[in-house]
A and B are shown apart, each in its own frame.
Chain A
Amino acid sequence: MHRIRFLRLMSVLSLPGAVFAAAPGRTRVVATTTDAASIVRAVGGDLVTVESLVEGIQDPHTLAPTPSLMLKARRAEVLFKIGLDLELWLEPLLEGARNPGILPGRPGHIDLSRGIRPLDLPVRLDRADGDVHPYGNPHIWLDPLNVRRMTRTVEEALSRIRPDESETFAGNREGFVRRLDEALFGRTLVEAAGGDRLADLLDSLAWERFLEQTVADGRGFGNLLGGWLGRMRPARGTAVVEYHGTFAYFAHRFGLPVAGQIEPKPGIPPTARHVHDLTGIMREGDVRIILSTVYYETEVPRRLAERTGARVLVLPTSVGGTEETTDYLTLMETMTHALSGAVMPEAPHE
């Protein structure tokens, strides 16, 4: 009898309380990373309240589920994740959150990697190759074209949840994509050619030939290219070494060959032997830039730089990684500015 009373009491205590209710008029969203949060905010606008689980200064692979994060997930109506197994910590966190509506397979669980062409797809799945990601490199948000596609996923998801607001979400997306395109290609080119067409071209082998096309007065499209691509164009072909695989999409988009990684294999801390080998690779290839991010140690990159004369660039790779990276556009602005400045210290950087 006492046991039955105890269980009744517990079931009453478990009823959802006022603190878990969503604010009226706004859909409560939780995003796994600050980058996903920034994209959802751009599309959702005033109709969503977005909280992120990982902070920009944290390694998104290894988050420890904490009570405050579980409560954020518990309150959410929709969850947006980057996907491709970036967030291996998500399942235990969702178990603790006890919110069935955002479990995998439910309408409130949205994978932003859908439709994205992954890089670094492993040819075999073997732990001898380190902590490989079976579905490919998950740092997809560092390619602005991927973010363009991710906004479409966000718009579709939010419109499914609030069909009456689908026009607002479509308008918000259009406005954000326009700003993204202008930041990526430069306003002049976008106004002339249209962002969608430019995005298609950039994602094809025809891009370079397009830039060589003459427009007028003997000038090519390459002369009209501005934005991040224009800024990074002189840096194309500059070989870099990076810590993890974090910069794979960024390097791919802006044409930076990755000569090696400080981690000998994904997730494996650098060994003395590997650092020695990497030193040789860097000297032989005249690699002048070492890319790392804010949550990795700086000792090994510094030692490599001393041995090779290369420069270490510790860049934010997520929104909030540094103070000035307040949204996705400022993140990419910061990254391209720092990198182009390191490659061409004399060049003007608008």
Chain B
Amino acid sequence: MRTRITKWTMSLAIMAALALLPEGNVRGDTEEGTEARLRALEDEVRSLRDGRGEAVSTQTGFNPRTTVFGDFLGKFNPGGRFRDRTGDDRFSLRETELDMRASIDPYAKAVMIAAVREETANSFEVEIEEGYLETTSLPASLTARVGRFRQNLGALNRAHMHDLPTPTRPLVHEKFFGDEGLSGTGAQVSGLVSNPWDQYLEWTAELVNNDNDTLLDGTDGEDPAALGHLKWFGDVTGGTTLEVGTSYLHGLREDSPKHLTQQVYGVDVMAKWRPKREGLYRSFLLQGEAYWADRDVDDATNLDAHLTVASPKNARPFGAYALAQYQIDRRWYAGVRYDVSEEIGDVFDREKAVGGFLSMYTSEFLRFRLGVEHHTRNNDRTDFDVAALGVTWVFGTHPAEPYWVNR
């Protein structure tokens, strides 16, 4: 049958039908009148969405992307001992963060993150956790940042409290750099090292005010503190990546006439496995960091009176942690962390901790977490347990940065 219809006659018939169909029917027919209106509306929506029409008629389009993070924690110390240290043995709205970010112009963008933190019971403090300007178009892969920012130290320091894979920061971070980790006000430059092996090798150099509360006892040195970080980031197999980094931090304590040097050396390793096909449901993370501090001690000015008892001119406290986390299914993650750290000002005061945690995400924007930790301190030969229940939530726009650093 088909062979009897020549292409020529068929084409003529089709053309005739086509010529009649759209033109003849569209305007007179109710159904197609509706279609025409629909098309006009769709074209208008498309025009607005593409920014070709008068889509942005107000200034609201320039508002920064704004996100709010809430971090609730119930922390329990069953034995009741060491309440001086775990003074937050209660429910608390540990932190509320307001995150705003936007492009400034074609050459730079800005980020501002303000945190409202419950420092003591029912007492909140507001802090600018980060507020920086970052370039977006420097040549040679360079990026510069000025302002206040979380410093590029190790693997976990840049993570905000709500981004941590565990209920608490590692002991070594708390003891060496403070409860909130290491932040600084100053400048940062980073870039990629070009190499013949086509490897991802990133360097960071920072100069910040020399005023970290823990490491430098809150002294305000005239010379800035310097930090350098070098990271190799590679694919080991199709679904496994490995990051290896090394950090160096240098500062001076100038409340002493001798200009005591404070240095920290660090290494960090992070391996992630996430199968390509089942990546929604399975992943494994192995992470560890180790730090050595090298601090001049001035027994003459008695800055570290307890160290002068042992009479070292130089103290080298050490701290490290190792973390493993396994994704059980799309919602559940389980992990363990082992910590060991000496006090930054007292190498004889060593604390160890081992803990487990279980996280459940109802969605990308809500997480419940249960954690338990067992701590041992050699100084007074005692131990204690801490249990924590955390709930973290996010609302607002969806910043492209991953909320959960290890998801």
Q: Which of B107-147 contact A (CB under 8 A)?
A: 136-138, 140-143
Given known contacts A66-B241, A100-B137, A205-B32, A210 and B194 CB-to-CB distance under 8 angstroms:
no
CB distance from B10 to the nearest CB of A (A): 5
With a cutoff of 8 Å between Cβ atoms, the chain A residues found around residue B7 in the complex are 191-192
Say yes or no: is B276 at the interface (Cβ < 8 Å to chain A): yes
Contact for B277 among A6, A14, A58, A210, CB less than 8 A: A58
Contact A67 B234 (CB under 8 A): yes
Contact B194 A19 (CB under 8 A): yes
Which residue on B lies nearest to A90, using beta carbons? B400
With a cutoff of 8 Å between Cβ atoms, the chain B residues found around residue A100 in the complex are 136-138
A118→B50 CA distance, assembly (Å) = 12
A66→B279 CA distance, assembly (Å) = 13
Contact A217 B277 (CB under 8 A): no
Say yes or no: is B346 at the interface (Cβ < 8 Å to chain A): no
Given known contacts A13-B194, A14-B193, A64 and B272 CB-to-CB distance under 8 angstroms:
yes
Say yes or no: is A305 at the interface (Cβ < 8 Å to chain B): no
Contact for B17 among A96, A99, A135, A215, CB less than 8 A: A215
Stretch with Cβ within 8 A of A (4 or more), from B69-77, B78-86, B198-206: B198-206
With a cutoff of 8 Å between Cβ atoms, the chain B residues found around residue A297 in the complex are 278, 280-281, 330
Contact for B200 among A17, A71, A201, A295, CB less than 8 A: A71
A191→B234 CA distance, assembly (Å) = 52
Binary contact track B166-189/A, C-beta < 8 Å → 1, others 0 = 000000000000000000000001
A59→B277 CA distance, assembly (Å) = 8
With a cutoff of 8 Å between Cβ atoms, the chain B residues found around residue A57 in the complex are 276-277
With a cutoff of 8 Å between Cβ atoms, the chain B residues found around residue A90 in the complex are 400
A19→B196 CA distance, assembly (Å) = 6
Contact for B22 among A85, A91, A99, A206, CB less than 8 A: A206
Number of residues from A at the complex interface, CB < 8 A = 73
Contact B194 A127 (CB under 8 A): no
With a cutoff of 8 Å between Cβ atoms, the chain A residues found around residue B138 in the complex are 100
Say yes or no: is A280 at the interface (Cβ < 8 Å to chain B): no
Contact B235 A68 (CB under 8 A): yes
Query: Which of B14, B45, B195, B233: most chain A Cβ within 10 A?
Result: B14
A58→B281 CA distance, assembly (Å) = 12
Q: Which of A89-110 contact B (CB under 8 A)?
A: 89-92, 96, 98-100, 103, 105
Say yes or no: is A272 at the interface (Cβ < 8 Å to chain B): no
Which residue on B lies nearest to A55, using beta carbons? B276
Contact A215 B14 (CB under 8 A): yes
A135→B106 CA distance, assembly (Å) = 24
Contact A17 B35 (CB under 8 A): no
Contact B400 A17 (CB under 8 A): no
Contact B363 A64 (CB under 8 A): no
Say yes or no: is B49 at the interface (Cβ < 8 Å to chain A): yes
Say yes or no: is B310 at the interface (Cβ < 8 Å to chain A): no
Say yes or no: is A330 at the interface (Cβ < 8 Å to chain B): no
Say yes or no: is A16 at the interface (Cβ < 8 Å to chain B): yes
Contact A7 B4 (CB under 8 A): no
Contact A91 B400 (CB under 8 A): yes
With a cutoff of 8 Å between Cβ atoms, the chain B residues found around residue A58 in the complex are 276-277, 279
Given known contacts A3-B226, A90-B400, A269-B330, A205 and B31 CB-to-CB distance under 8 angstroms:
yes
A14→B138 CA distance, assembly (Å) = 11
CB distance from A181 to the nearest CB of B (A): 14
Interface residue SS majority, chain B: mixed
Say yes or no: is B11 at the interface (Cβ < 8 Å to chain A): yes
Contact B279 A62 (CB under 8 A): yes
Say yes or no: is B18 at the interface (Cβ < 8 Å to chain A): yes
Say yes or no: is B213 at the interface (Cβ < 8 Å to chain A): no
Binary contact track A268-301/B, C-beta < 8 Å → 1, others 0 = 1100000000000000000000000011110000
With a cutoff of 8 Å between Cβ atoms, the chain B residues found around residue A71 in the complex are 198, 200
Contact for A217 among B1, B21, B226, B331, CB less than 8 A: B1
Given known contacts A204-B35, A296-B280, A14 and B194 CB-to-CB distance under 8 angstroms:
yes
Binary contact track A1-22/B, C-beta < 8 Å → 1, others 0 = 0010011001101111111100
A54→B86 CA distance, assembly (Å) = 46
Contact A131 B274 (CB under 8 A): no
Which residue on B lies nearest to A69, using beta carbons? B235
Say yes or no: is A176 at the interface (Cβ < 8 Å to chain B): no
Query: Which of A20, A99, A295: most chain B Cβ within 10 A?
Result: A295
Contact A197 B398 (CB under 8 A): no
Contact B200 A67 (CB under 8 A): yes
CB distance from A285 to the nearest CB of B (A): 26
Say yes or no: is B257 at the interface (Cβ < 8 Å to chain A): no
Say yes or no: is A219 at the interface (Cβ < 8 Å to chain B): yes
A164→B310 CA distance, assembly (Å) = 78
Say yes or no: is A193 at the interface (Cβ < 8 Å to chain B): yes
A42→B195 CA distance, assembly (Å) = 33
Contact A10 B194 (CB under 8 A): no
With a cutoff of 8 Å between Cβ atoms, the chain B residues found around residue A99 in the complex are 141
Contact for B141 among A14, A130, A268, CB less than 8 A: A14
Contact A14 B140 (CB under 8 A): yes
Say yes or no: is B191 at the interface (Cβ < 8 Å to chain A): yes
Say yes or no: is B13 at the interface (Cβ < 8 Å to chain A): yes
Contact B1 A14 (CB under 8 A): no
With a cutoff of 8 Å between Cβ atoms, the chain B residues found around residue A64 in the complex are 241, 272, 274, 279
With a cutoff of 8 Å between Cβ atoms, the chain B residues found around residue A127 in the complex are 363, 365, 395
Contact B363 A11 (CB under 8 A): no
Contact B140 A16 (CB under 8 A): yes
With a cutoff of 8 Å between Cβ atoms, the chain A residues found around residue B5 in the complex are 215-217, 219
Contact B278 A295 (CB under 8 A): yes
Say yes or no: is B364 at the interface (Cβ < 8 Å to chain A): yes
Say yes or no: is B61 at the interface (Cβ < 8 Å to chain A): no
Say yes or no: is B222 at the interface (Cβ < 8 Å to chain A): no
With a cutoff of 8 Å between Cβ atoms, the chain A residues found around residue B106 in the complex are 105
Given known contacts A67-B234, A92-B402, A295 and B280 CB-to-CB distance under 8 angstroms:
yes
Enumerate 14 A-B pairs (CB-CB under 8 Å) in ascending A order: A6-B205, A13-B193, A17-B195, A17-B196, A19-B195, A67-B241, A70-B200, A96-B200, A130-B363, A191-B7, A193-B14, A209-B25, A210-B18, A295-B277
Q: A67-B233, A201-B21 are in contact. List 10 more A-B contacts (CB 8 A).
A: A6-B228, A14-B193, A15-B140, A57-B276, A121-B45, A204-B35, A206-B26, A213-B21, A215-B10, A221-B14
Q: Which residues of B contact A (CB under 8 A)?
A: 1-2, 4-5, 7, 9-11, 13-15, 17-18, 21-22, 25-26, 31-32, 35, 42, 45-46, 49-50, 106, 136-138, 140-143, 189, 191-196, 198-200, 203, 205, 207, 226, 228, 233-235, 241, 272, 274, 276-281, 330-331, 362-365, 395, 398, 400-402
